[in-house]
Chains A and B, each alone.
Chain A
Amino acid sequence: MAEIKPTRMELIKLKRRIKMATRGHALLKMKRDGLIMEFREILEEAKEVIGGMVDKYNRANERITLAKAVDGVIAVRSVAISCQYEPKFTIRRKNIMGVVVPVVKREKIRRKVSEREYGVVATTARIDEAVSAYEELVDATLEVAEIETTVKRLIEEIDRTKRRVNALEYRVIPSMQEAAKYITFKLEEQDRENIIRLKKIKSKMAAKEAEKRAREEAAAAAA
């Protein structure tokens, strides 16, 4: 408290800051609640999508292992070399309450067997199934890229906002209120001191006046 100047100007400034901090605290609390609501909405979807991707990976892995075991690694590799059509998608950005998250717009990921670059006659159904399983996996991966990043970003922002709310609630505002209380107390004390000082001066002056009057009266009586 030693560094605080107990002046009226300082008290006015401090009261303004307390008002602003309180308003900021209320706004941040609203932001935190809004983010949590947004997060809860997306969480269920995230669980489903990530769980789905894990299942699809296991399935794709099974299919390719089977294809490699039965048709041979070389057959699978030769199909892999012939596949040139890359999955098409675009990434845009979306803003959720100041949090920038990606939005993946998937175009064509899954294709019919007839649309694939490799010959259907020379390959087996096992390879076709492996390709289909991987197409599904890539599709799920793109969905996960969007949702997982959104979830992570929202969590980070919730954590950051929560820290700010707590810092304002338990540290900044109470310390400013304490300082304002200290200044008010000091100013009141100064006022009391001034009143006492004025009363003392007044009584001294009254005593001097009375003494002077007594002296004058004594002089008049002597004359």
Chain B
Amino acid sequence: MSRITVIGDPDFNIGFRLVGIRDTIDVEDESKLPEIVEGLLGKEGIVVIKYDFYKKLPIHTKIKVEESLEPTFVKVGGEAGVGELREKIRRAIGVDLWK
């Protein structure tokens, strides 16, 4: 059975704790964010990360997050990474199919 890990601020995480998710990481100091995210790479399951935190990650960590299949990262909150996905599609196919 796989598990969900949530990375966010305490206000973001409390909702997920209501559903019974135990692995929540309260990020108090944003400078430790890359370290926390990289520490989760290679683990099983799904990692839910607050979109505002994802945006603050350094580019090399973002690339690792995007390429990671185990665990699979999901951005929640805000526009949830639709902009990046749309840009990727535009670059690969040549037209914006997300319209």
Contact = CB atoms under 8 A, between A and B. Distances in A.
Do A and B pair up? The answer is yes
Interface of A: 36, 39-40, 43, 47, 50, 53-54, 57, 60-61, 64, 76-77, 79-81, 83-91, 93, 100-102, 104, 109, 117, 127, 130-131, 133-135, 137-138, 141-142, 144-146, 148-149, 151-153, 155-156, 158-159, 162
Interface residues of B, number: 36
A148 B14 contact: no
Given A145-B74, A148-B74, A40 B97 contact: yes
B25 interface: no
Contact of B15 (A61, A100, A149): A61
A134 B19 CA distance: 7
B92 A148 contact: no
**Interface core residue of B77, B81, B82, B92 (most chain A CB under 10 Å):** B92
A37 to B, nearest CB: 12
A64 B14 contact: yes
B19 A100 contact: no
A87 B80 contact: no
A83 B19 contact: yes
B80 A50 contact: yes
Contact of A76 (B18, B44, B66, B89): B18
28 contacts: A36-B93, A43-B97, A50-B82, A50-B85, A54-B80, A80-B17, A83-B17, A84-B22, A87-B4, A87-B19, A89-B1, A89-B2, A90-B1, A90-B2, A91-B45, A91-B72, A102-B72, A134-B18, A138-B4, A141-B46, A142-B4, A149-B69, A153-B69, A155-B93, A156-B92, A158-B92, A159-B91, A162-B92
A-B interface, 8 closest residue pairs, ranked by CB to CB distance from nearest: A80-B17, A159-B92, A83-B20, A85-B20, A155-B92, A145-B72, A134-B15, A86-B20
Nearest to A51: B82
B40 interface: no
A141 B17 contact: no
- Interface of chain A, main secondary structure: helix
Contacts of A162: 92
